[in-house]
Amino acid sequence: MNLKELAKHLNLSQTTVSRALNGYPEVNKATRLRVEVAAREFNYTPNARAKGLATGRSMSIGHVIPTSSKREMVNPVFGDFITGASEAYVQAGYDLVLTLVEDGDEERLYRNIRDKGNVDGIIVHSPQMDDSRIALLLDLGLPFVVHGRASDITANYSWVDMNNRGAFRRATGFLAELGHRRIALVNGLEHMDFAYRRRDGYLAALEAHGLKVDPALLRAGEMTEMLGHASAQEMLALPDPPTAFLSSSMMTAIGLRRAIQEAGLQMGRDVSVITHDDELAYLKNGQTVPIFTATRSSVRAAGRRAADMLLRLIADPGCGPLHSLLEAELILGESTGPVPVARPEKTYRQGQT
Amino acid sequence: MNLKELAKHLNLSQTTVSRALNGYPEVNKATRLRVEVAAREFNYTPNARAKGLATGRSMSIGHVIPTSSKREMVNPVFGDFITGASEAYVQAGYDLVLTLVEDGDEERLYRNIRDKGNVDGIIVHSPQMDDSRIALLLDLGLPFVVHGRASDITANYSWVDMNNRGAFRRATGFLAELGHRRIALVNGLEHMDFAYRRRDGYLAALEAHGLKVDPALLRAGEMTEMLGHASAQEMLALPDPPTAFLSSSMMTAIGLRRAIQEAGLQMGRDVSVITHDDELAYLKNGQTVPIFTATRSSVRAAGRRAADMLLRLIADPGCGPLHSLLEAELILGESTGPVPVARPEKTYRQGQT
DNA sequence: AGGGTAATTTAAAGCGCTTTGGAAGCCTGT
DNA sequence: ACAGGCTTCCAAAGCGCTTTAAATTACCCT
């Protein structure tokens, strides 16, 4: 059933029916009711393509996530992010279209996305420090919001980000105040902006506490369980091992914990761990009391906020670049404690090898 | 730049230009070349909405993933699945539109999806054992492919699934042949079809080996690390604890391993573990040699296959319901071994508490 | 040169909707 | 009775593309 048929059935013009259904004022109350009833009865749903063509808007948002040959994993955070974003889209009647783009021919691809015209705006995922997409998008004039920021970009664009630097500065400071002087960082890939900022915060805190940086305690990679495990295993075998770890993801923290246990140490007593916790639905940090002390910030909330922001930008393009910085909470779990006074037993052995 | 402008610029009719760009035969070779060059020069991209309206096809595929109040986590497998599916879409020029639907008003929602007409077909995720969506979709006449199956549905529909039953039967059998007689199953939620089938395979293998089912060794829940941890912790404290575990996800297996280690036992020697491994990009089972013995089947490959199937169904609706059953490999890792002859030391203590 | 066929090109209709520019109907007040 | 102003409705144009039906051009053969 399309508009024409519906109109004929009602003995009305398409115009009137269309107006009635779209809430325009110039239609008689009784008529509107009649139309609405009939529409429901016949399960009338306007054709989105035709509507889009007529209005010039597609009522959908593009989520563009980069995939590269070297890092072809879809960020596990993505599922939760879109769950949040979807809430906003559903309410506003928008659809979500997903585009995975190989990096390389961004120029052409993003231009195509705009010219194809099946999205009214896009959300940019996983920005790198110097992300060429931002200048490109500003140039294209397509409304967009970045999830994260690009440190090297000075242009003014809309973003939703977590305070990565602040969170890791605070977490590192917290460890330092517990007396830890050998604090390791197991980070995500540091050309990703969030990882860069986290390291920056970590370094700032070390400096503020008069601790010096030991490259042996810095690691970066895809944030897998194995990265955590391998990093901790190696670092704990150092002559002067770390007494605390900072981790960029729950997944990695789980790996850290395994290596710590395997070394015969107890997490929270012999070795402290703070991880960032994105509050992913499938990766909860404990049920009631958190297992890990963590900097916590909901990716889902970020998704919701980014979507809201983009919808606002679309509705009123003049409302200028918007920014939203989410603060992470530092929540106390059982994985941190004061630096042990005596070296834990296991360490002696290792120290003397 | 739109078609009309491009045509005017070339002193050609829209018809010819359109035909030239869409590879129709009735256009002069020289003209076609001229058109193609101009199109590239002006960065001409046809408007997808208009094209869709004219052709009646939207060139996009809907991925519909259910979210419920009780289980509102987006399956972590999803990211990898769409990575695979996207490969097919990109090649075929399709877009992917994502729809999260709250369960409850499926009837209306799926009908809307069809009537809105912005997808040419859909992929159905996370089918339950008796999934009402399948009958509904068959009725609606929208091409669709289910990722997984619905055991209680007898109708003939297209699906791509892994041989869950076979994989778990084989894994269980393998453990039984290693001498294990107390084999635990830590499964996903069993109203999900895949989980049901896995249990079915497990039960079949137990029976085939003359082992009886102990309800104390069966657990099902959201497949988190904590589910694995809690399950193993409780079961290992039983008077007659399991000597082997079957796990439905890597995440859960990691939890199992932790509990096993905490109990002072060694995985692969004192306790065996086999897990299913979806080959998720962010959750690799070891670098070179697998950590866990696992039933392995790539979700990404399944996504690719489902997408290919759906595209085929759209191109030729007559080609009937298609099916594709992916076999899982049983790969040997370091988490399994023969059942220990003497009970591991730790168990004695616990047995006497 | 002329007739017929094949190769190219075009004008125009149509996809299903919104929206502009009127028009018709109905009051009101004089 | 009629100008003026509302309210309510409608016909038709237009969004940017494809596609049908028809027109034009090119080509070959006698």
Q: What is the pTM of this model?
A: 0.92
Contact A35, A21 (CB under 8 A): yes
Residue indicated by tokens 């604090």: A183
Question: Is the C-beta atom of A22 closer than 7 angstroms to strand D?
Answer: no
Question: Is the C-beta atom of A55 closer than 7 angstroms to strand C?
Answer: yes
Q: Which residues pair with B63 in a beta bridge?
A: B98, B123
Question: Is the C-beta atom of A53 closer than 7 angstroms to strand D?
Answer: yes
Contact B267, B308 (CB under 8 A): no
Tally Cβ neighbours within 10 Å of residue A37. Answer: 11
SS3 (DSSP) at A228: helix
Dmax (CA) for chain B in angstroms is 94
Å between B78 CA and nearest CA of chain A = 7
Give the separation between CA B168 and CA B185, rounded to whole angstroms.
Answer: 10
Residue indicated by tokens 């194809």: A116
* Identity of the residue in B95, B226, B287 whose CB atom sits nearest the CB atom of A284: B226
Q: Which residue has the higher pLDDT, A124 or B283?
A: A124
Tokens of B148: 């997984």
* Backbone region of residue A24 per phi and psi (left: phi > 0; alpha: psi in -120 to 50; beta: other values): beta
* Beta-strand runs (E) in chain A: 60-67, 95-102, 121-124, 144-147, 159-162, 183-187, 218-220, 244-247, 272-277, 293-296, 323-326, 329-331
pLDDT for B349? 45
Question: Is the C-beta atom of A35 closer than 7 angstroms to strand C?
Answer: no
Choose, out of B69, B72, B225, the residue to mutate when testing the contact with A (most A CBs < 10 Å): B225
Distance of CA B80 to the CA centre of its chain: 8
Give the separation between CA A314 and CA A310, rounded to whole angstroms.
Answer: 6
Q: Of A156, A96, A102, whose CA–CA distance to A120 is shortest?
A: A96
Give the separation between CA A203 and CA A207, rounded to whole angstroms.
Answer: 6
Categorize the per-residue pLDDT at A72 as very low, low, confident or very high, splitting at 50, 70 and 90. low
Q: What are phi and psi of B67, to 5 degrees?
A: -130, 140
Tokens of A291: 């297992």
Give the separation between CA B324 and CA B297, rounded to whole angstroms.
Answer: 13
Q: How many CA atoms lie within 13 A of A279 on its CB side?
A: 16
Residues B15-65 have pLDDT tens digits of: 999 999 999 998 999 999 999 999 999 999 999 999 999 999 999 999 998
The residues, any chain, with a CB within 8 Å of residue A19's CB and separated by 6 or more, are A26, A27
Length of chain B: 353
Residues A180-235 have pLDDT tens digits of: 999 999 999 999 999 999 999 999 999 999 999 999 999 999 999 999 999 999 99
SS3 (DSSP) at A96: strand
Tokens of B235: 């079961």
Find residues 225-244 of chain B whose CB sits inside 8 Å of chain A: 225-226
Q: Of B13, B15, B17, whose CA–CA distance to B35 is shortest?
A: B17
Give the separation between CA B115 and CA B112, rounded to whole angstroms.
Answer: 5
Q: Which residue has the higher pLDDT, B288 or A44?
A: A44
Categorize the per-residue pLDDT at A251 as very low, low, confident or very high, splitting at 50, 70 and 90. very high
Categorize the per-residue pLDDT at B103 as very low, low, confident or very high, splitting at 50, 70 and 90. confident
Contact B282, B83 (CB under 8 A): no
pLDDT for A350? 44
Q: Domains in chain B, ordered, with CATH?
A: 3-46 (1.10.260.40), 60-162+301-327 (3.40.50.2300), 164-298+331-352 (3.40.50.2300)
Residue indicated by tokens 């070390």: A206
SS3 (DSSP) at A112: helix
Categorize the per-residue pLDDT at B352 as very low, low, confident or very high, splitting at 50, 70 and 90. very low
**Per-residue DSSP letters for B68-106?**
-STT-PPPTTHHHHHHHHHHHHHHHT-EEEEEEEESS-H
Tokens of B250: 């890597």
Distance spanning both ends of chain B, measured CA to CA: 81
Contact B122, B63 (CB under 8 A): yes
Q: CB-based contact (8 Å) between A73 and chain B?
A: yes
Angle ∠(B82,B87,B90) on CA atoms, nearest 5: 110
Categorize the per-residue pLDDT at B70 as very low, low, confident or very high, splitting at 50, 70 and 90. low
Å between B57 CA and nearest CA of chain A = 9
Q: Average pLDDT of B148-155? A: 95
Residue A273, H or E segment: strand A272-277
The A 64-83 residues near strand C by Cβ under 7 Å are none
Residues A320-341 have pLDDT tens digits of: 899 999 999 999 999 999 999 8
Q: Of A298, A300, A285, A299, whose CA–CA distance to A332 is shortest?
A: A285
Å between A73 CA and nearest CA of chain B = 5
Tokens of A145: 């919001």
Categorize the per-residue pLDDT at A71 as very low, low, confident or very high, splitting at 50, 70 and 90. low
- The single-letter DSSP state of residue A129 is T
Tokens of A341: 């006074």
